[in-house]
């Protein structure tokens, strides 16, 4: 009979568990300390719990951590890990070292419902939501876990489509009983699901990144079908209700496609759309994926685009391409793994 993971449980949830087993309430804090502080892999390692209480816990619960089943290492130091989350289902997690930063990109779903034209994960379709335990396991079980400086929810899936579990994971990451991280070290990316957007901004202090990719509604809908239900103009107006001038940062992700959205017409429209909003734009060169008739923009085009935006009041950066030699685009490694299983 499968045991229930303790990983991903908030302190309040751990208190409910221990009280239900007849243990003192303070035992919950001890369990949290062993998991989130000392990062143990088994209940047996929780040596300040009595043997009786450890046996009680073990009867129904486990830590719930599991190592990656596959990894690919890039010449630039990027590592892509593959985690198994259920029979035949996998998610990707990417470790990205850069100067003084060490960023981990985590997934929130197996597959995705958004079906963006340029995204390999979207082409998989949607399979399942990840639990908070499965989200946190991506952080808990990578070898570089103790060197991490930043977490980004920019892997497989749409975080706001699985917001309850994402918020639970964020609570563990930012609370004193958990990892104790500053929210400034965590960024959550979304296409802009409106209901989830409001909840996230009201309940979390983590940074927000919105996938934009075109300022023109018709073209954005072609690239991102979610534009039909969640128009970028309405998302921007919603964002104007919040204060991003202090610690929380708002950014827009803009993948640049050669001859599609990289001319100055687009830069000028972006300035009009975002004028007066305290934000930045991250320009990203497209990584080619099978079945998408899109190419990445030329470096000089991206530089000119960036300089125009920054010169007109919207601070913009060009995100360095990483891991191009190891299935760089999100979803490619998990797709390959699934295809290999299907062919066996």
Catalytic sites, residue numbers: 92, 330
Pairing of strands 109-111, 250-256: unpaired
- Please state the separation of Cα 327 from the chain's center in Å: 18
How long a stretch of residues is the chain?
344
Q: Nearest CA to 129 among 147, 108, 150, 105?
A: 108
Q: Which residue from 288, 286, 287, 322 is spatially nearest to 77, judged by alpha carbons?
A: 322
The Cα–Cα gap between 295 and 289 comes to: 9
Distance CA 171, CA 65 (A): 18
**Helix, strand, or coil here: 331?**
coil
Using left for φ > 0, alpha for ψ between -120 and 50, and beta otherwise, residue 99 falls in left
**Could you give the CA distance from residue 170 to residue 103 in angstroms, rounded to a whole number?**
16
How many angstroms separate the CA atoms of 338 and 2, rounded?
24
Q: What ranges in the chain are assigned the alpha helix state H?
A: 11-20, 27-32, 51-60, 120-124, 132-140, 163-174, 194-203, 217-223, 232-239, 264-274, 299-311, 332-343
Q: Is the alpha carbon torsion for 112, 117, 121, 126 positive or negative? A: positive
Most distant CA atoms of the chain, gap in Å = 69
């Amino acid at each position: 009979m499968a045991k229930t993971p303790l990983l991903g449980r908030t302190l309040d949830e751990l208190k409910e568990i221990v009280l239900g087993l007849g243990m003192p309430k303070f035992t919950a804090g001890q369990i949290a300390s062993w998991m989130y502080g000392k990062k143990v892999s088994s209940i047996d390692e929780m040596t300040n719990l009595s043997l009786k209480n450890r046996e009680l816990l073990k009867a129904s619960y486990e830590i719930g951590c599991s190592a990656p089943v596959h990894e690919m290492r890039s010449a630039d130091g990027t590592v892509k890990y593959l985690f198994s989350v259920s029979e035949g289902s996998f998610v990707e997690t990417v470790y990205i070292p850069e100067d003084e930063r060490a960023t981990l990109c985590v997934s929130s779903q197996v597959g995705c419902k958004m079906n963006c034209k340029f995204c390999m994960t979207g082409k998989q379709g949607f399979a399942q939501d990840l639990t908070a335990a499965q989200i946190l396991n991506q952080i808990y079980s990578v070898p570089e876990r103790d060197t991490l400086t930043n977490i980004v929810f920019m892997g497989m899936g749409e975080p706001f489509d699985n917001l309850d579990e994402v918020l639970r994971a964020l609570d563990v990451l930012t609370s004193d009983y958990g990892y104790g991280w500053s929210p400034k070290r965590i960024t959550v990316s979304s296409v802009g699901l409106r209901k989830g957007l409001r909840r996230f901004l009201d309940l979390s202090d983590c940074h927000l990144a919105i996938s934009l990719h075109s300022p023109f509604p018709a073209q954005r809908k072609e690239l991102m079908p979610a534009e039909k239900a969640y128009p970028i103009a309405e998302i921007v107006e919603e964002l104007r209700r919040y204060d991003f001038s202090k610690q929380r940062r708002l950014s827009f992700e803009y993948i640049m496609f050669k001859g599609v959205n990289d001319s100055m017409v687009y830069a000028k429209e972006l300035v009009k759309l975002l004028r007066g909003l305290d934000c930045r734009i991250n320009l990203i060169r497209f990584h080619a994926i099978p079945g998408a008739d899109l190419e990445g923009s030329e470096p000089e085009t991206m530089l000119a685009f960036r300089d125009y935006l920054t010169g007109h009041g919207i601070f913009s950066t060009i995100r360095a391409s990483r891991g191009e030699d190891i299935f760089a685009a999100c979803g490619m490694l998990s797709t390959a793994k699934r295809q290999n299983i299907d062919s066996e």
